[in-house]
Amino acid sequence: MVRMNPLGNARVRPVAVEVLSDDWYVLRKATFDFQGRDGGWTRQSREAYDRGNGATILLYEPRAGTVLLTRQFRWPAYANGHPDGMLIETPAGLLDQEDPEAAIRREAEEETGVRVGAVEKLFEVFMSPGSVTERVHFFAAPYEREHRDEAARGVAEEGEDIEVLEVSLSEALAMVRDGRIADAKTIMLLQWAERHGVVG
């Protein structure tokens, strides 16, 4: 189902929405009339990939100055030239009809073995608004090293095989600079941590 802005936009007149694919997620083609700033109307069409909304979290240990990241295979990155498709990321996942905070608690535990306590909601971001409808909710929370289940590797039934990395914030930022970390949400959260001094 297409989610429309409840406030609407007088410069947009929806005409039709066609489902092009409904396999892993949903690909829709929308046709609409759009009024330009000169007052004239044009008919346009856009395709948008709808995978639902998501959440991500930066897990940090303030005393040790470390963060928990994951490494897993990402086919789209591999298909677009990433050397091995193994992306280093902050824990993340889809909401699956859950409240964003509940969803990120579940994802953090599944992917890293951390049962998250208090979380801080940071912001919400459209990560690729030209083609994907997804809105991502960003969180941060401290973790306790001694209370982490080191056997966590994601959900095997969903094809997940996740490696957990514990690195210093300074090393993670160096990985951004040299390209070892190339995931947008992760870079945003690491820069947030550096700017706000939450680690070390």
Over the stretch 129-179, which tens digit does the pLDDT of each residue have?
999 999 999 999 999 888 777 766 665 566 568 999 999 999 999 999 999
Residue 123 three-state SS: strand
Looking at the structure, do residues 60 and 126 belong to the same domain, yes or no?
Answer: yes
Q: What is the pLDDT of residue 178?
A: 97
Please, what's the largest Cα pairwise distance for the chain? 63
**Extended strands (E) in 36-170:** 41-50, 54-61, 66-73, 86-89, 92-94, 120-126, 135-142, 163-168
Residue 42 dihedral angles phi and psi, to the nearest 5°: -130, 150
Q: What is the pLDDT of residue 43?
A: 97
Q: How far is CA 84 from CA 105, 149, 171, 184, in A?
A: 29, 27, 21, 18
Over the stretch 80-121, which tens digit does the pLDDT of each residue have?
999 999 999 999 999 989 999 999 999 999 999 999 988 999
Looking at the structure, do residues 21 and 114 belong to the same domain, yes or no?
Answer: no
Q: Is residue 96 part of a domain?
A: yes
Q: What is the pLDDT of residue 74?
A: 94
Q: Is residue 123 part of a domain?
A: yes
- Position 1 pLDDT exceeds 90: no
CATH number of the domain encompassing residue 129: 3.90.79.10
Looking at the structure, do residues 44 and 126 belong to the same domain, yes or no?
Answer: no
Range of the domain at 153: 54-196
The encoded tokens of residue 187 equal 């870079």
Q: Is residue 175 part of a domain?
A: yes
Please, what is the Cα angle at 176 between 175 and 180, to 5 degrees?
55
pTM: 0.90
- Position 48 pLDDT exceeds 90: yes
